[in-house]
Amino acid sequence: MNKTLLLSISTILLTMTTRVLAAENPFSDVPATHWSFQALAQLEADGVIEGNDDGSFRGNVPITRYEMAKIVARAMAKANVRDTDKAIIDKLSTEYAAELNQLGVRVNHLEKKADNVKINGYAYLRMQNQKTTDKSTGKSQSTSLSRSYEELVIKGKVNENWDAVGQIQMYKDLKTDIDSDDNLLVKGISANGKLFGANVKLGKFEQVTQNAVVYHEYTTGAEFCFGNALKTRITVGNVTNPMKLIGETTENVFYKAAEFNYKLSKSTNLNAAYFDLDGNELQYTRGKKNPHIYAAGFDTRFDKNWGFRGLYLKSSSNISKGKKVEDIGYLASLEYKGEKLNNPGSFGIYLKYIQLPKLTQIFTDVAHQYNYKGFEIGTMYMLAPNTRGHLRYYKGTDVDNSNKEKSLVRAEVRYFF
């Protein structure tokens, strides 16, 4: 784990421990040099408090935290306090929150601040076996994976219109059990709010596009979402690490996208998208310095049980590393029922045909489908509220080399919170 991060966490825990220890002994003395004495002296001068039970505040004599909290409680009960004194009272009530709680005094502004911060996310345990075969040589290779993963989304309310959002990822290779600095990552930090009538994200944020088969990663830039009947998302920014991971470029790639979704009827939605990349090294890996990807698709429900979704993808280039490659992608998915997170026993079954050439993707975490075409069958089952089991089997062929085959079995349990 990153040493700097460990040091920061240790410092926070030490601070919290110090506060807890103080709270456990409300009768420990508060020295006269503590900042809260000066704060109370100001409140006494302004006529907000009258000091101890005998009516006096002895600013040069140490008192217990419990006695201090009693004085703060009386200040909190005062009405028509001016703003500068109210700020002092809020600061004091934060310092002596534990003692006030023992006195039965509710510290409303702390409760509101606690409500301002929300944490949600998911975690999973995954096991996977994958086999690749080259029919031209007869050689096969099998790999297995056991992994735990957790993603936290921390949202703090800044004001009525804006939130500060952070996203943290943690994963562990359960086979090797080796710690690495890369195992815990702060993936996203952004300001999310409303601007010019649109929902806006500014900073580094997660994006999921076109059923997560074109792009599912983090973008550094700006995102604008607007529209009712025709929902529109415009994104401008940089794609940083993802394309480096698959060896396409060593530099950041400038990224622009326009995505549209239209509700044709109660059961059918239409969607379309345009993705634009700009990077010098893409001239070699994608045949153009400024390649585009076009997408069009739909999803529909035939009845309460059966549904279907389709997606068409087209790259503006069919050249990669000096060779002609496939430039058209497809996704067709037949779906039966569907799991509901709060409904144990609910389930869904799907059958997909997927053709995903590398030129029709930017980056996606569905790695077994990258530059392959084939079928996948799977089922999702709610084992308990917010606990989902997922089992899938995939078999496919390399888009540009029919001698290369791949099969995969993956089992996963995912927890949502």
Q: Please give the pLDDT value at position 24.
A: 43
- Report the C-alpha gap between 386 and 397 in whole angstroms: 35
- Report the C-alpha gap between 319 and 326 in whole angstroms: 8
Q: Give the containing element (helix H, strand E) for 334.
A: strand 328-337
Cα Rg for the chain, rounded, in angstroms?
29
Q: Please give the pLDDT value at position 21.
A: 39
Per the CB < 8 A criterion, the answer to whether 312 and 332 are in contact is: no
Last residue of a domain, one of 48, 76, 106: 106
Q: Are residues 102 and 122 in the same domain?
A: no
Q: Please give the pLDDT value at position 246.
A: 59
Q: Is 354 a domain residue?
A: yes
Q: Please give the pLDDT value at position 337.
A: 95
Does the predicted TM-score (pTM) go above 0.75? no
What are 300's two structure tokens?
């529909």
Q: Are residues 96 and 130 in the same domain?
A: no
- Report the C-alpha gap between 39 and 88 in whole angstroms: 7
Per the CB < 8 A criterion, the answer to whether 239 and 279 are in contact is: no
Q: Are residues 156 and 93 in the same domain?
A: no
Structural domain for 58, as ranges: 3-106
Q: Are residues 200 and 137 in the same domain?
A: yes
Q: What is the number of structural domains in the chain?
A: 2
Going from the first residue of the chain to its last (417 residues), give the mean pLDDT of each consecutive group of 10, the final group possibly shorter. 45 40 50 80 80 50 76 81 85 83 65 72 95 94 92 90 92 75 80 93 89 84 94 91 61 91 95 94 90 96 96 96 94 96 94 95 83 96 96 96 96 95
Q: Is 160 a domain residue?
A: yes
Last residue of a domain, one of 46, 74, 106: 106
Closest among 283, 286, 311, 282 to 296, alpha carbons compared: 311
Q: Please give the pLDDT value at position 114.
A: 60
Q: Are residues 301 and 353 in the same domain?
A: yes
Q: How far is the CA of 166 from the CAs of 112, 117, 153, 301, in angstroms? A: 20, 11, 6, 35
